[in-house]
Amino acid sequence: MSIYYDVPRDCYEAWMIYNFLSLCMAYVGGPGAIVVKSEGKVIEPSWCLMTCCWPPIPVDGFLLRKCKQGTLQFVLIKPILASLTLIFFAFGNYEDGDWSMTGGYLYISIIYNICYTIALYYLLVFYVGCEELLRPYHPLMKLVIIKMVIFLTFWQSIGISMFSSRFSDPSDTGALQDWMVCMEMLLSAFMMWFGFPHSEYKIGGRSSGFTMAAFAHAISLQDVYSDVMHQFNPNYKTYVLYTDGGPSENVKRKKFRKQGKQDPGPLALSGHVAAGSDSEEGEHWDLGGGEGG
């Protein structure tokens, strides 16, 4: 019966990686803010990123699109793999820890690992390209916590399944995995309490606490659908979204100081930038793109 709980859990893990990338972009003010603030910045060739044979990669809308595509492919493929897992299990062709060529476990694990590796790779590329912008929000600590949770729920089960022959009852491997995850998630909960403090998500002038509107926004898949349409549609290949992914009334609060006195120039083929009001701190630019985002 555990397989019926593992499948939706795995789908949630894929969605969590996508949400983490969206969170990092929202920290900075949205993809449009990243494009403007990173103008002229490039990712130098690196052995660690496997870009040693490539020219310097500019941090622009094209790179952000590829990073989004890299994480979204995992969100799209994981439910398909989950459905195949249930189908194979129903026909007796799937069993956890069965590495035989005739079972579905081997092939699903291979495809899962490839897609998962691609998602994490583009997440790393995004972090390297936007490290300076994200530094005040401690993204590395958050990424380690996210990866640790995924490691403990998937890779740990792979490792335990390799030693399933040492157990007298094959079901004991699943019981051991469940017990270890329960203990480890207790530690993970404390780490997330410090890694993702609620104070970072407070909005000025808003009362804190649980609201159904906030909960509905958190679990909504509308942003996934919108991103899939924009990131994989060739008509939007030069599209840059000038919002932070949150409610439109919050976007206009996301402002940053203009670098120098040069004219910012055209920022994208789609969307626009409206000049913000002058203040004592200097000239600012609003990346909200209007009330509709």
Provide the 3-class DSSP secondary structure of residue 47. Answer: coil
Confidence at residue 110, expressed as pLDDT on a 0 to 100 scale: 92
pTM (two decimals): 0.69
Within the chain, strands assigned E span 42-43, 57-58, 255-257, 274-275, 284-286
Confidence at residue 126, expressed as pLDDT on a 0 to 100 scale: 92
What is the phi/psi pair of residue 48, to 5°? -65, -35
On whether the CB atoms of residues 139 and 37 are closer than 8 A, the answer is: no
Residues in contact with 261: Cβ distance below 8 Å, sequence separation at least 6, in sequence order: none
If you average pLDDT over each of 95-99, 132-136, 171-175, which comes out highest? 132-136
Q: What is the DSSP letter of 170?
A: T
Question: Which is it for strands 284-286 and 274-275: parallel, antiparallel or unpaired?
Answer: antiparallel
Confidence at residue 273, expressed as pLDDT on a 0 to 100 scale: 36
Longest dimension (CA), the chain: 73
Is residue 278's pLDDT more than 80?
A: no
Burial class (CB in 10 A: 0-12, 13-18, 19+), 169: exposed
Helices 3-28, 139-150: inter-axial angle, 10-degree rounding: 170
On whether the CB atoms of residues 56 and 42 are closer than 8 A, the answer is: yes
And the tokens for 164? 């399933």
Residue 254: half-sphere exposure toward Cβ, Cα within 13 Å: 29
What average pLDDT does the segment 93-102 reach? Answer: 83
Among 98, 126, 100, residue whose Cα is nearest residue 26:
126
Provide the 3-class DSSP secondary structure of residue 42. Answer: strand
If one counts every other C-beta atom within 10 angstroms of the C-beta of residue 3, the result is 14
Q: Is the model more confident about 213 or about 51?
A: 51
C-alpha distances in Å from residue 251, one per residue of 8, 136, 248, 269: 32, 19, 5, 20
And the tokens for 265? 């120039």
Among 81, 60, 61, 72, residue whose Cα is nearest residue 20:
72
Please tell me the total number of residues recorded for the chain in this structure: 293
Confidence at residue 107, expressed as pLDDT on a 0 to 100 scale: 93
Confidence at residue 10, expressed as pLDDT on a 0 to 100 scale: 73
Tell me the per-residue pLDDT of 184-230, one tens digit each, with 9 for 90 and over.
Answer: 888 888 888 888 877 777 665 566 666 787 777 777 788 888 888 88
